[in-house]
Chains A and B, each alone.
Chain A
């Protein structure tokens, strides 16, 4: 019943049998945007990266406000030193799977750092966050099991569901009642997994985890929470929204990533489940891929340990988020949430065309934000997504607001 983001060729211009002709609609859309003279939002090159918050983009000195580098760890001196040392001592890559020759001392240390960070018994490191969701979800929920998920879940969650062949039951975004109705109708004795995200990255809104996890438990479902966009920032120890709402002990699996607050690449799952370690043997996206390079796990472990003591940075990041949110509201931009809920502030654009124009106007001002459009966005919205960093200074946030004001007026949307 659902539509797909592709459509067949409008006429027979493409040669018969061309498997790529199903993307003609997408090619057309892209060409329409580029024909209006806008720089390609999906082809930006950062020629130089000066700091977690500044880069030379397409030849311009640019403030970065769309990188998910929430805690600004990418240039932390201790993190860089750890990476250099590992590169020197362990080489550039492992050339192997975690279960064969790809587990080095650094991988164990990285998993130890995660266990300590979350105060949990088990941790499993994947090569990306995408693979962590893909692997854990597809492995634990198989044919005949049910996955109950928020309709706005990330692509990696949906792909994990499809790979595992479980029955997928979506419910309306952040709707507690819709979740309960579905849990109530499912067979009592079936295996059930409720999949939630702490922060939804498109609008930057937070899930009512406390209520939802209580319902999952009431109906005998296990719970997996993706805390990709909250780790390091939300919660007293930066463990995420489930810590903030006091329900972390009721979560069976937390999924996270190293590519946001941690500042490198990789993914993980932490859990207190006594049988958790068996997943290392049966989880295909863990087994059948090369492990992370030694320098990456060394930077990740160092960064995670530093994030444990990042209370001051967390406080400053909240200040930034609150100021940007309030400033944009004052300027008259409609935002994704009525109040700041995370380090993401989503500015709602009237349509894709003006969204692309606004994106370009900001880039020319020297500001990079994410242009997000359907089908990645909910309700067919076009968004300019701003993700703040703890390293943005208060002055920089004011500069950002001035840029938004000039660009918004130039494009005629405020």
Chain B
């Protein structure tokens, strides 16, 4: 081996080492602040629950896990599916799914509009999309509450215009949750969609028109397949936080119909069942991971991967 090669190899090693060193603080934070607590949760989920919250250390039990999906009937003690938990999980999945669909429908035209502006004005539009992030989630949720409540902006306006005779009951329904989540998570859909549409080669669209494609055909056969990675990335960004939503169902849903986040909170509060809460949190993570796996598979099949 020549000296030059050796030197190059040494330089490469040096380079790798310095990269590791540079990323060490971030890795450390991720390990200490994210992965560490996860192990604590995993550990707690296998403990016996304490009488007044907490767990009894050193007493192992699978009950936390089995009671996520199964429960003994309150009255005849038969083991059956945990109907309450499953319907709450199912509601969370459904609402998150519809939120994702709604944000795609609303976000796509927005992103398309931004991406087709002259380059120097695009930045202003993107900037406008990010403005809601300047405000705390809780405050945005309360703002939404003021809009849709019975005495709120929307109902007052509709009553005044004579469109409706009595206020629409929107707040404290699943519709309110859906509206709230769509409003809060919409920017998370618009941004990746924009990034993807911006890269779209509009000569392909022109070629489509030249070949007598209708506008709908161009959208369906050319634009959507090309921006699919953006749609998928946006969907993941919207779907995941929706699944774990806590504040929105509490403020807009009226606390009457729980979502998974609220169910978990209850176990650590008045439910006094920390192992169950821990097991549920991990179940939520598994759901999220499953969604991510589907995404990765989808993206790799699409060929051009993530934007």
Q: Do A and B bind each other?
A: no
Chain B residues close to A by CB (< 8 Å) = none
